[in-house]
Amino acid sequence: MDEKMSKVDPKLLDLLVCPLTKGTLSLDRERNELVSERARLAYPIRDGIPIMLVSEARKIED
């Protein structure tokens, strides 16, 4: 695992949902993000903490 990437508690990941759609999220380990396919947003993980703010999310382009 890359030194910059911080491990997120898997139990926490099971509980988190997209704040916009309330849908499920998938972990993108390569980019260190939680991805909402439905909302087309990727939420960053910083220092092991998911930043679940729509304003902080990256829009996923086709």
Residue 17 scores a pLDDT above 50 = yes
Distance CA 19, CA 23 (A): 8
Q: Which residue has the higher pLDDT, 30 or 3?
A: 30
DSSP-derived 3-state class of residue 1: coil
| Structural domains of the chain sorted by starting position, each given as residue range(s) with its CATH number in brackets | 10-59 (2.20.25.10)
Of 56, 55, 19, 53, give the one whose Cα is nearest residue 39. 19
Q: What is the DSSP string of 3-59?
A: TT--PPPHHHHHH---TTT----EEETTTTEEEETTTTEEEEEETTEE---GGGPEE
For 20-56, the pLDDT digits (tens) are: 999 999 999 999 999 999 999 999 999 989 999 999 9
